[in-house]
Amino acid sequence: MPRTLPYPDPGCSRDDRKGFGLAPEPAKTRKSRMTSAQRVIALFKRDAQDATPEDLEALSEVKGLFNRTQRQDQWDWFTTWARLGCPYQEEAREIGTSLGYFRKHLRDADSEMVARKIGFLKDGDLIPSLEHYIAEGTRIEEDVIYVLAHGPQANLFTVGMTSGDVLADVTSASLATERPLGVQAVWLAERSTLTLEALHEVLEPWRVRSLEGVFAMDLEDLRMQVEDLLEEIENAIGA
């Protein structure tokens, strides 16, 4: 069984960054989310006919799952993201927004607007993501690039990549130091289009010589370097 981080105390500040994003889902929360995911899948299988108050509540909870993965502002955001199959940020945002409108249209019995939204939600990544969540899988088809913060003011970041069990691998990297490291950024890359060595080569000017895979730089500069590299690779593939 993979190692996990303890859930933080309610008063713990995000600025600590100790294990931020990697908190496990409490058992009661996990059970509620699983029930909601199953209920939402069943709702779409019957084309949202005869939606109940429980269905509306389930839609609200599932919307929250996708919102936290793209906002990246909760202690378990990365855990949730991995369990949903690591959806792209833009897709997670669109699903969360569409679920909010869809729930409103169902509540208002606006059949015309329900019909407009249901196609996008049924044919997109919502159902596969929820099925991935229910199956408790954390393996995906893409490579995941991740950034772990060493502290709130140090501007030291571990940059890694995994193509295996996303949650287990990143948790293991977080726990490899004396204090758990928090997840500050993630990206998806098409499998085998980028190596960790090539990624670290781009970040070489900021490398901390005494620490493997650790870079001293501003987080926004780090984001820019990674995103420019991914765009360059995407353009090369499309050429």
Measure the CA–CA gap between 181 and 148, rounded to whole angstroms.
6
Residue 122: is its pLDDT beyond 50?
yes
Provide the token pair at 28. 């009661």
What pTM was computed for the model?
A: 0.88
What is the per-residue pLDDT across 147-160, written as a single tens digit (0 to 9) for each?
999 876 678 999 99
CA proximity to 87, closest of 67, 103, 73: 67
Q: What pLDDT does 177 receive?
A: 83
Burial category of 15 from C-beta neighbours within 10 Å (exposed 0-12, middle 13-18, buried 19 and up): exposed
Residue 11: is its pLDDT beyond 50?
no
- Please count the other Cβ atoms lying within 10 Å of the Cβ belonging to residue 89: 15
For the chain, give every domain's residue range: 16-134, 143-238
